[in-house]
Amino acid sequence: MASSIRGFPPSSRQAELQAFAQRIAPQSKGQGEPLLGGRHFWLSDYTAYHAPSHFNSLKMYSTRMSNNEICNNENLKADHTADGVLYTYQTGQEYLGIFPVWDWSRLPGTTNRAGVLGTKVKQQGLTSFVGGLATASSSTNSSGVAMSVMDYQSANFGAGDEGGVSARKAWFFLPTGTVALSHNISGVAAPAAEIVTTLEQSLLANPGGDMGGGSTVSIGGGSAGAPTVVPPGNSSVPAGHWVHHDGKVYTPIETPASGAAAPWKLETGVRSGSWMAINEGLDNATDGETVSLPVFLLEASHGPAPAGVSFAYAVLPGVGTASGASAAVASFHASTKVVANDAAAQAVLATPAVGEDVLMIVAWPAAVTTVVDSGKPGLKVTMPGPTKGGLLTVKLGASGAVFSAADPTNGSGGGSLTFTIDKSLEELQATTLHRDAAASEIGPVSCKKAAAAGSTVVTVTLPNGTAAGSTVSGHC
């Protein structure tokens, strides 16, 4: 395959193809440039993000597509597989063969009724505000970020289904890890006991290798000293504490609208199941035997009937052993701040690279003006109302400011995104980015002086047609 790629005729993406060929060629495996950065596939409601320490995969669905399907009596428990399922890989084998023993009502990243599965397959989504933005998909860009949003709403498609659970969910992908925000989590758990957000459900021991601590699970944080090893079984996580497993740390985040903290619960131990339970097309004589595997499950409980609650956490891969968890959490909080998690916006301010600040915003449709203030000069964004919302990043670095935007409705939200930034047009244009750029390199961005002194009105023209929903970037 690598030799076939090298033989492709010249194209605008020749460099990408050559880099891909070098990465997969057996004789040069691991020697090519690493694949770094994010990409949102706007026609599939899917986001992929590659960082030096990990890979993230996020699957959502909207009014534009179906969630999943059952075919030939396969995929029998796929009820939640497009409900914002977030996988975090370090070796690529964290979930290898787990499917017969998985609790399919508690998939990583999802918020739904614990223990309840129904018939919600091959259904169109109920909401259109589902999409993503990625500022970099280049193999040479190690500081790119990505973000995704899902206006999650699950109707009752069948008896026993999880109908009625809803939440506004956003994910922010950074080189250091992933920030997951939820707002307005609402629903009724009955006949289940509670509605939960599942932070993780993976193999307890990673078949791909020990990434730090093996199958040992530890808890730390608060005023505690050294991390505490958690024995197998079910246990509660003290409020404000982090959990370490297999080189990853799961840490709670306080936000401007946190409210009462959702209690975290841990479950570790052997689970049993059968491949026949999820695929009746198999041969019971050869595939019907009981499979037993040790599993790691971490979840947060929102109770039997949450109404408008918020929740936030982060997953930090590449930490190593639990002894480095506290330092990793402290470093993360020093470089990453949740600016908003409310009805108007969900936003994160991050420093993914030295000398670079990025404000990442999910602006929800609103009848009034939306203001997102990061607390840093030049990174206060105001969107005049009424606004149809959108996704926006503002990156400030030594060379200037870059604006990226996307329409998560894939075109139903309008043709442009307009906002005001608290930085003068003179400042935005007195940069190497502006001075050295040809007119064609500025991108679909127009800037003009705002009425308020020291501010600039920025308009990003969004793509249409089959490109609606994709990311565009530019500068003043």
> CA torsion sign, 157 to 161 to 163 to 169?
negative
Question: Are 89 and 57 contacting, i.e. CB atoms less than 8 angstroms apart?
Answer: yes
Phi, psi of 223 (to 5 degrees): -95, 5
Calculate the dihedral angle through the C-alpha atoms of 108, 109, 114, 117, rounding to the nearest 10 degrees.
Answer: -80
Question: Are 416 and 461 contacting, i.e. CB atoms less than 8 angstroms apart?
Answer: yes
C-alpha pair distances (Å), 470 with each of 46, 56, 404, 425, 473:
12, 19, 10, 27, 10
pLDDT, position 226: 84
Question: Are 38 and 47 contacting, i.e. CB atoms less than 8 angstroms apart?
Answer: yes
pLDDT, position 458: 96
How many of the other CB atoms lie within 10 Å of CB of 263? 14
> CA torsion sign, 229 to 235 to 238 to 239?
positive
Q: What is the Cα–Cα distance from 86 to 476, expressed in whole angstroms?
A: 35
Say what the pTM is.
0.93
pLDDT, position 142: 57
Q: What is the Cα–Cα distance from 235 to 265, expressed in whole angstroms?
A: 6
The token pair at 307 is: 């109404």
The token pair at 399 is: 């060379």
Q: Can you give the chain as a three-state secondary structure string?
A: CHHHHHCCCCCCCHHHHHHHHHHHCHHHCCCCCCCCEEEEECCCCEEEEECCCCEEEEECCCCCCECCCCECCECCCHHHCCCCEEEEECCCCCCCCCCCCCCCCCCCCCEEECCCCCCCCCCECCCCCEEEEECCCCCCCCCCCEEEEEEEECCCCCCCCCCCCEEEEEEEEECCEEEEEEEEEECCCCCCCCEEEEEEEEECCCCCCCCCCCCCEEEEECCCCCCEEECCEEEEECCCEEEEECCEEEEECCCCCCCCCCCEEEEEEEEEECHHHCECCCCHHHHCCCEEEEEEEEEEECCCCCCCEEEEEEEECCCCCHHHHHHHHHHHHHHEEEEEECCCEEEEEEEEECCEEEEEEEECCECCCEEEECCCCCCEEEECCCECCEEEEEEEECCEEEEEEECCCCCCCCCEEEEEECCCHHHHHCCHHHHCCCHHHCCCEEEEECCCCCCEEEEEECCCHHHCCCCEEECC
pLDDT in tens, the chain (476 residues): 555 655 666 776 777 777 777 776 765 655 667 788 899 999 999 999 999 999 999 999 999 988 888 788 888 888 899 999 999 999 999 999 999 999 999 999 999 999 888 766 778 888 999 999 998 643 344 558 999 999 999 865 444 555 679 999 999 999 999 999 999 999 988 888 899 999 999 999 999 999 999 999 999 986 567 899 999 999 999 999 999 999 999 999 987 766 668 999 999 999 999 999 988 888 887 778 899 999 999 999 999 999 999 999 999 999 999 999 999 999 999 999 999 999 999 999 999 877 889 999 999 999 999 999 999 999 999 999 999 999 999 999 888 899 999 999 998 766 999 999 999 999 988 776 766 665 555 789 999 999 999 999 999 999 999 999 999 999 98
Question: Are 247 and 211 contacting, i.e. CB atoms less than 8 angstroms apart?
Answer: yes
pLDDT, position 138: 39
Phi, psi of 18 (to 5 degrees): -65, -40
Q: What is the Cα–Cα distance from 165 to 158, expressed in whole angstroms?
A: 14
Q: What is the Cα–Cα distance from 406 to 397, expressed in whole angstroms?
A: 21
pLDDT, position 337: 96
pLDDT, position 137: 43
pLDDT, position 439: 56
